[in-house]
Chains A and B, each alone.
Chain A
Amino acid sequence: MIPAPFDYVAAGSAAEAIDLLARHGDDAKVLAGGHSLLPMMKLRLAAPAVLVDIARAAGLAGISVDGDELVIGATTRHADLVSSALVRADAPLLAHAASLVGDPQIRHRGTIGGSLAHADPAADLPMALVALGGSVELAGQAGTRRVRADDFFAGFFETALADGELLTAVRVPRRPGVPWGYQKFVRRANDWAIVGAAAIDGRIALANMGPVPLRARAAEQALAAGASAAEAAELAADGTSPGEDIHADGEFRQHLARVLTRRALEHLS
């Protein structure tokens, strides 16, 4: 399968990418690893006229510490998250989530910024960022703003990214030594979650239980009020109305959300 024709521009910096996005408007899409975008272009589900490649833009990759947060450049690849001593120490839930994305070849190409901007509700990193209470930095011609993960995912494959904005970095609270749980239910290797659950520090996030990665707020509130993991997990699917597909109907997804949340809360790393 061959994508529809497009023009390719490699941006040397975030500022150059933002200029290019402003110039080309809706015709342009940002390319990093391309492991969400290129498959869609090959299937002609997307046919942007211009690709702005940020993979080699200066300053967009890398992991650093800023006070009590990790700052992760948007073009940092899944494989880099998995192998980073900083991420493994300060946000091991994120390193683990990244290790479950696709397969080794995909992790060598896919980036954290790309996965978050793609906003697949079944994907690992969006759920992980919601569980961690992280945020993203969005840069545009008007400047840079920070958006919390809870507010970033706006709908099915939709985000708070405005026209012409570029996701430049991801911020994650540092929590060395804080127990966390991560559960992903799949039937095949290297697949997306049929349902996923991630828990840390009283926060619980769910994958593929709705159009965006969700907080299991009823379960979180029960935990905060002193409920056991099993009691809280019974509430994990409250308020959700997950969709039906070839893998599972809504009722089964709600069952999975309860079971996986209990496991995430009980099997802590």
Chain B
Amino acid sequence: MQVKLTVNGERRSDDVEPRLLLVHYLREVCGLRAANIGCDTTSCGACTVLLDGESVKSCTVLAAQASGRDVVTAEGLAPDGELHPVQQAFRAEHGLQCGFCTPGMVMAAVGLLRENPSPTEQQVREGLEGNLCRCTGYHNIVRAVLAAAEGSGGRPPWPAPRASQPTARPR
């Protein structure tokens, strides 16, 4: 079947199997490897991407379900090589250890800050409950998200460069 969607600002049209998962579409068809396949069971959040501006776990979304929509991966946060404010904060606060969960954590954090630009520490922890860090590096991750929120002065660190504005959800 044909899917037409926007990935990191680029309009795409691809012929895919209906059963193709969005994470496989992104990694294997688009060649975008930031979204990792961790648990593959909607638990760990390593595959988190933004779908119409909201965080989703791309291992539990069909590429077909994303057709007509706007997808942003971690690559789309820094298309010109300049790190997104949330990425900068993860670096500055050492919000990663092995790095496997990081792309998902960053995307979940960007999604969280879009919905709540000035979260409390508790809200950050609850907002990231869908993302697991097996290094258990949560303290610095939370610190990074709070720093990104502070750095943005209460405005969401968004829009990302070149990423198209989220489209209205078709109802």
Contact = CB atoms under 8 A, between A and B. Distances in A.
Given A8-B18, A106-B42, A58 B55 contact: no
A103 interface: yes
A42 interface: yes
Classify chain B: how many residues form its interface, as a range. 20 to 34
B112 A104 contact: yes
Contacts of A6: 18-19
Contacts of A53: 64-65
Contacts of A38: 60-62
Q: Is the interface of A mostly helix, strand, loop or mixed?
A: loop
Given A6-B18, A103-B129, A103-B130, A108 B55 contact: yes
Contacts, number: 82
B65 A55 contact: yes
Choose among B42, B43, B55, B129 the residue with the greatest number of A CB atoms under 10 Å from its CB.
B42
Interface in B35-67: 40-43, 45, 48, 51, 54-57, 60-62, 64-65
A53 B130 CA distance: 25
A246 interface: no
A103 B24 CA distance: 22
B98 interface: no
Interface string B1-27: 100000000000000011101001000
Given A34-B62, A35-B42, A4 B170 contact: no
B85 interface: no
B62 A105 contact: no
Given A34-B60, A62-B171, A106-B42, 19 more contacts: A3-B19, A4-B19, A6-B19, A7-B18, A8-B18, A35-B42, A38-B61, A39-B41, A56-B68, A58-B171, A104-B112, A104-B127, A104-B130, A105-B45, A105-B48, A105-B108, A109-B57, A189-B129, A190-B129
Interface of A: 1-8, 10, 31, 34-35, 38-39, 41-42, 51, 53, 55-56, 58, 61-62, 79, 102-106, 108-109, 189-190
